[in-house]
Amino acid sequence: MRRAGRILLPLLALGACGQAENAAPADAGRTLTGRISLLEPGLCQAVEGQLSVGRDEWLTRWYGRESEADAPVLLGEERPSLIVSTPSRLRVNLGAADGPRTFRASVRREQPSQDPDLRAEIFWQAPGAEPRSLAAAVLASEDDSWQHLAADLPIEAGDLWLIARHEHPGLAAQAGARVAWGSPVIAPLQPPDLPDVVLITVDTLRADAVARMPNVQRLFAPGEWAGRAVAPSNWTLPSFASLWTGLDADQHGAGRGAFGAPASGPEARAFTALGPARTFPEALQDAGWATACVHQNPFLESWTGLGRGFDAWIRTRDGLQSNRGAAEGWWRANAHRPRLLVLHWMTPHLPYGAADGADPLQERDWRRFLSEDRTPEERRAFFDLPEEQREQVRSRYYAEAEALDRELAEWLPELLAGARRPILLFYSDHGEELWDAGSFEHGHSFDDSVVRVPAAITGDGIVSARRLDAAAPAGHLGLHLLHLLAGSDARIAEALRQTSRGLPACGFAPACPGAQGRARSISPLYRAEAEGLEVDAQGARRLLPFRGEGSGGAAPVLDPATLRRLAELGYAGG
The answer to whether 89 touches 163, Cβ cutoff 8 Å, is yes
Residue 177 shares a structural domain with residue 218: no
The answer to whether 23 touches 72, Cβ cutoff 8 Å, is no
Q: Say what the pLDDT of residue 4 is.
A: 38
* Structural domains counted in the chain: 2
The answer to whether 151 touches 103, Cβ cutoff 8 Å, is yes
DSSP string, 246-291: ---TTTS--EE----SS-SS-----EE---S---HHHHHHHHT-EE
Query: Beta strand pairing status for 224-230 and 452-458?
Result: antiparallel
Q: What angle, rounded to 10 degrees, do the helices at 387-416 and 324-333 form? A: 20
Cα(325)–Cα(342) distance, integer angstroms = 14
Last residue of a domain, one of 149, 165, 188: 188
Residue 161 shares a structural domain with residue 218: no
Last residue of a domain, one of 136, 163, 188: 188
Q: Say what the pLDDT of residue 506 is.
A: 63
Classify residue 251: in a domain, yes or no.
yes
| 3-state SS assignment for residue 8 | strand
Q: What angle, rounded to 10 degrees, do the helices at 236-245 and 280-287 form? A: 40
Instruction: Tell me the sheet residues that pair with 79.
Output: 56
CATH number of the domain where residue 165 is located: 2.60.120.1060
Classify residue 328: in a domain, yes or no.
yes
Classify residue 392: in a domain, yes or no.
no
Classify residue 469: in a domain, yes or no.
yes
Classify residue 374: in a domain, yes or no.
yes
Classify residue 44: in a domain, yes or no.
yes
Q: Say what the pLDDT of residue 101 is.
A: 96
Residue 348 shares a structural domain with residue 432: yes
Q: What is the pLDDT of residues 360-375, one digit of tens each?
A: 999 899 988 988 878 8
Residue 278 shares a structural domain with residue 362: yes
Low-confidence ranges of the chain (pLDDT < 50): 1-16, 18-22, 28, 262-266, 511, 513-514, 574
Residue 180 shares a structural domain with residue 295: no
Q: Say what the pLDDT of residue 471 is.
A: 86
Query: Beta strand pairing status for 312-316 and 290-295?
Result: parallel
Sign of the CA dihedral running 270, 271, 276, 277: positive
> How many angstroms from the chain centroid is the CA of residue 322?
15
Residue 441 shares a structural domain with residue 376: yes
Residue 111 shares a structural domain with residue 247: no
Q: Say what the pLDDT of residue 266 is.
A: 47
Residue 210 shares a structural domain with residue 319: yes
Residue 221 shares a structural domain with residue 353: yes
Residue 310 shares a structural domain with residue 428: yes
Last residue of a domain, one of 188, 213, 243: 188
Classify residue 417: in a domain, yes or no.
no
Maximum Cα–Cα distance for the chain, whole Å? 82
Q: Say what the pLDDT of residue 12 is.
A: 31
Q: Say what the pLDDT of residue 551 is.
A: 83
Q: What is the pLDDT of residues 150-195, one digit of tens each?
A: 999 999 999 999 999 999 988 888 889 999 999 999 999 988 899 9
Closest CA to 551 of 319, 232, 311, 330: 232
Residue 181 shares a structural domain with residue 264: no
Residue 164 shares a structural domain with residue 240: no
The answer to whether 532 touches 446, Cβ cutoff 8 Å, is yes
- CA dist list (Å): 176 to 60, 113, 179, 447, 554: 21, 10, 9, 56, 36
Classify residue 401: in a domain, yes or no.
no
Residue-range definition of the domain harbouring residue 524:
197-383+422-568
CATH number of the domain where residue 473 is located: 3.40.720.10
Residues contacting 5, CB < 8 A, separation 6+: 56, 57, 58, 59, 108, 110, 111, 112, 144
